[in-house]
Every structure is written in C-alpha cells, then in structure tokens.
Chains A and B, each alone.
Chain A
Amino acid sequence: MSERVLMKGNEAMAEAAIRAGCRHFFGYPITPQTEVAAYMSKKMPKIGGTYLQAESEIAAINMVLGAASAGVRAMTSSSSPGISLKTEGISYIAGSDLPCLIVNVERGGPGLGGIQPAQSDYWQATRALGHGDFHVLVFAPSTVQEVVDLVFLAYDLAEKYRMPAMLLSDGLLGQMMEPVSFPEPVEKFIEKPWATNGHQNKRPHNIVNSLYLAPDELERTVVERFARYAKVEETEQRCQEYLCDDADYIIVAFGATSRVSQSAVDTLRARGVKAGLLRPVTLWPFPKDAIRSHIPHVKGFLSVEMNMGQMVDDIRLTVEGKVPVEFFGRTGGVIPRPAEVVEKVLTMAGGDR
C-alpha cells in the first residue's frame, strides 16, 4: 500500500485504474465525471498509455469494446445521460463476453436533468444497461478509499467472469476529497486465450461476436452466461453492516446516502431506537443473503436513496413481504438530511421518542 494522500474521488478512481493495469481510457466530456478524464489525459501519455477523447459516448464505449477484444484492461467513464448513450455498446460487450470497466458518476435525471449528485440510475445499472438478457457487475463505493479498492476488484471479477463491470459513483463521492492509499500496481494478469490480438499463425482465428442467428444456439449462449451469473450471485454478494445484529429497524442505503444513513443510525441509537445500517457494496449481485439473514429479528427495513424509490424494489423482492419495507428518498440532486431519515424511522417505530 502507498502512503496516504488526500485526493478527490474522481482522481483517485483514475489513479486506481492505472494501478490496476488500465492503459486504455476512452471518454467524452460530461459533468460530474470530468476529473476522471482530465487525470487520465495527464497521466496516460507519461506511462505509454492511451487517453482518447472520442467523438461521442457511443464511440467511446465501442473503442472500449475494441480494446477489450484485444485483451487489455480498458475503461470509460461518464455520467448519467452519457451512460444512456453507451448502453448499446454495453449490451454488445456483455453479449461478446468481454471484461471492461465502465464508470457512472451519477447526476440527476431524467433527460438532461441536473449536475448534482443522484442515485436515479439504480434501475438502469441493475436492469437496463442495454437490450437483451444480461447482467453487469455493479459496485457502489461510499468512500474515496472504497472507490480505489473496488476499481481493482471490478477488473478482477470482470475478467474472472468475462463480463463488464460498472462502478456506480455519484457527484458527491466524485467531487469530495478524502485520505486514500493505493494498493501496489497490478503486474500479473490472467491469460485471455479468447482475445482477438492477432493469431500470429499459431492458432485458429478468434472471433469476438454476439450474433447467433439460430435460436437454439443463441439460447445456449445466454443460458451458459446465466450459469455464470448464478455463480456470481452465489459467491460475489458484498455488503457492510453497522449495528444490524440486534436491530429492530435496518436502513438499507448505498453510496452517498449510506453516509447520511449512518449518522441517522447513531442519532436513533442515542434516542433508544435499535436501528442498523446495511450498505450494499455490490448492487448486482444484490446482497440478498445478508438482508434475508435479518428478516427474523427486524420489524422493518427502510430503503434510503437519492431517487424516487428504485433499490427498494430489490429489497421487497428479497424480503418477500415477510416484514414491512419502506422507502425514503430525495431526488433531483437533493441530498437527504440525517434528520429526515431519523424522522422516517421514528414514524415506522410508531411515533416520537
């Protein structure tokens, strides 16, 4: 690990990607991910890497597809409206079984929306990053240090399972500074015998492709991919718990809202309410097992999000109606205050204390 330095979330993310072995970054300017691209444009030429400002988000994600086909660790970063444009390419990347890293520093929507922090792309990240049957690994850091750690993990798991990975950050995490230390640079990478990097007349030609005109063949490839997804769901769910073991009420929150929610839990505990926080680190796979383990002792779950209620769907699907699941959120770039969250839990608990 390196010495601790003070860095912005977006810059730390870029440095982490470089240390994780990324030498190919393709982007397009958009707020609030700006610092990721700026950092890459400064660093990449010094280390023999590629920073390329593409003509569009669509071109950038397809450049990632090309570089990933060649077997290198490639990356693109954008913010909400830009991710919508990338979804075509993400579907093809998933359908071609390619690993890569896609960053979404979320801002408010829909449409052009705003440029303040939001989490209103949860559905998009976990359900709709393109057409067709597929999943993307989705990581939701809540500190700058975790941004760094998850970049490394995202590349490792993307390559292990041959699927794209998304780091879902937001304008708050991207812009704030925190002390951070970096793992040692990755020097050894897994073999990629499937890469289209020129066969040098030593092997049959490799094809990176997502087209299967015969229905049974297409079904077979999708089913094979879903067998891999089942393995991911079984082994890669990640979350962090805070005072959950004896909790009557568990707040479920990711990213920036988990920080607000942790303050709310402390306040609630001080007022005698046994509250806890369960913070999903992976949004897909969703940490269902951890949530289920608390169903027997809780009186209810509260999803706190910066949107109109998206992750709450996954909690309800996990809880299957066994205990109440409620939602509190602000949207449009408004960050919920701890006092608002406290008030919501108190209401669930049946009045003031």
Chain B
Amino acid sequence: MAMVYEKSKMLTDAPLHYCPGCTHGIIHKLVAESLEELEAGGRAVGVAPVGCSVMAYNYFSCDMVEAPHGRAPAIATGLKRALPDGVIFTYQGDGDLAAIGTAETVHAATRGENITVIFVNNAIYGMTGGQMAPTTLPGQVTQTTPYGRDVTKAGFPVRVCEMLSTLSGVAYAERVSVDTVPNIRKAKAAIKKAFETQIAGKGFSIVEVLSTCPTNWGLTPVEALQWLRDNMIPYYPLGVYQDRTANEKGVF
C-alpha cells in the first residue's frame, strides 16, 4: 500500500501533553516538517521555554535544551556561538518571550543573532492556569483580569513583530495563524523560510504564530478558532513585517 501521510521523523513517539484543541501540536508538526525537509535535524538544537511547551524537549527528536523562563534566546545565542553550523531555534510562548524574556528577545534580534524564534502567541499564560499575558487583548477576561484587561491599569498588549521589525538585526519577521488549513499552509511556509534564513546566515528570524487556548479561554476548540479570527487577527494583523532575505548578506 502506498504511504500517503507519515509523521515527521523530527518528532519523537512521546505522546503530547497538550489540552484538547490546543494548536501547539500543529505548530510542533510544522517546525518538525520544516527541519526534516531542510535535512537539518542532525545539526539542529532546539531550546524549550517555560510555559505550556516546557516539555517540547521530549517531542522534538533533535538535541534539546530546556531554558529558564524567558532566557531561551540567550541560550540559543550561546549554542549558536559554540555551534556556528548548527540550526538553532527557540520555541516560546507569549509570557516567556514578551514579558520576562523581553530583553533577551530584543537583544538577540538587534544583534542579528543567527537563530530562529518560533513565537506562539495565544494571549494568555496557559500552564499556570490562564493569567493575563503581555499579549492579552484589551477587555479580555483572564484569571488576573477578571473584569477584562483594563488598559488604564494593566497597559496595552505588545505587538512583537511590529516592535522587532524596527531593529536592524532582524532578517525575517512574519506573523501567521493556524486557525484554518490555508493559514496552516502559510504558517508552514513562513517557518521553513525562517530556518532557510538562518541556514543562509542572514540574521535573526522570527515567526509569530497566533494560537488558541480553549481551556483557559473557556471555549470549545471550534469557538476558540473563531475567537482568534474575530479578536486576535484584527489586533495582530497577519503578514510579513520584515524581510531582508533578498540581500545577499542578509542584515549584515
């Protein structure tokens, strides 16, 4: 019988621990398939964050390092400097990347650190039970914004791709979503392009993936996808925010 679909060899056989309807599984698959298609698995080293995807080190079959909360880009920097031919990536959530790890994110980007960041934005702290994240939308109800995020008290959500696109070290920054099949295909293309950017030595690459958290949003998986379309995409428009990959030397 002809094989029509196969799980990526870049994923281990460990069962994923993610909640039903969570889109981490899709994003893991896209990262794994991209690395496999680029034949980069043998020289890849991934950095797992603190957050829902903390145990990503069990799921990717490449070498993996588990980072302190927010520090993944610094660890990826250390790895890349020690392994210049390695394909080094971080996989981080919004709290990890845009709150406690803001400095590490911004400075890895502005150095043009030749690493790839996969940024999963679901507008909430999932693992700790649904607290306000730096990307929680105005008015959004979470455990720590029970009356909705009041921007006069809790400030405004961070638009990461827009912010990083102003930095000279960023070779490629795109925001994608995994809410529909066409968007999943675009997300895959973006993730693959980010790795290609790194392999060509062109500088820092980041793909922000809008993602759902049915459990902590209190919605069914289908409702959550609709909520993402209705609320997140208007505040976080999809698209390419920076692309210096056409330059022969990238950002340098």
Residues of A near any B CB (own CB < 8 A): 24, 26, 50, 52, 54-56, 58-60, 62-72, 74, 88-89, 92, 96, 196-202, 205-211
Contacts and interface: CB of A to CB of B under 8 A. Distances in A.
B194 interface: no
A52 B82 CA distance: 12
B71 A208 contact: no
Contact of B75 (A66, A88, A197): A66
A84 to B, nearest CB: 15
Interface of B: 12, 41-45, 47, 54-55, 57-58, 60-68, 71, 74-83, 86, 103-104, 106-107
Contacts of B67: 62, 65, 92
Nearest to B48: A209
Contacts of A210: 66
B103 A52 contact: no
A36 to B, nearest CB: 18
B126 to A, nearest CB: 16
B81 A205 contact: no
Contacts of B74: 54, 58-60, 62-63, 65-66
Contacts of A24: 78, 81-82
**Which of B65, B68, B78, B79 has the most C-beta atoms of chain A within 10 angstroms of its own C-beta?**
B78
Contacts of B43: 198, 200
Contacts of B66: 96, 207-211
A33 B68 CA distance: 26
A72 B104 contact: no
A292 to B, nearest CB: 39
A54 B78 CA distance: 11
B48 to A, nearest CB: 8
23 contacts: A24-B81, A55-B104, A56-B103, A59-B74, A59-B107, A60-B74, A62-B68, A62-B71, A62-B78, A65-B65, A66-B79, A71-B82, A88-B68, A89-B68, A197-B45, A197-B82, A198-B42, A198-B43, A200-B43, A201-B42, A208-B64, A208-B66, A211-B54
B63 A207 contact: yes
Nearest to B111: A52
A159 B41 CA distance: 27
A199 B62 contact: yes
A76 to B, nearest CB: 10
A50 B62 contact: no
Given A59-B104, A200-B43, A68 B71 contact: no
A206 B79 CA distance: 14
Q: Which 3 residue pairs spanning A and B have beta carbons closest together?
A: A66-B78, A62-B74, A70-B82
A63 B45 contact: no
Contacts of A74: 78, 82
B103 A59 contact: yes
A65 B78 contact: yes
A197 B71 contact: no
Nearest to B58: A207
Nearest to B76: A66
A198 B62 contact: yes
A61 to B, nearest CB: 8
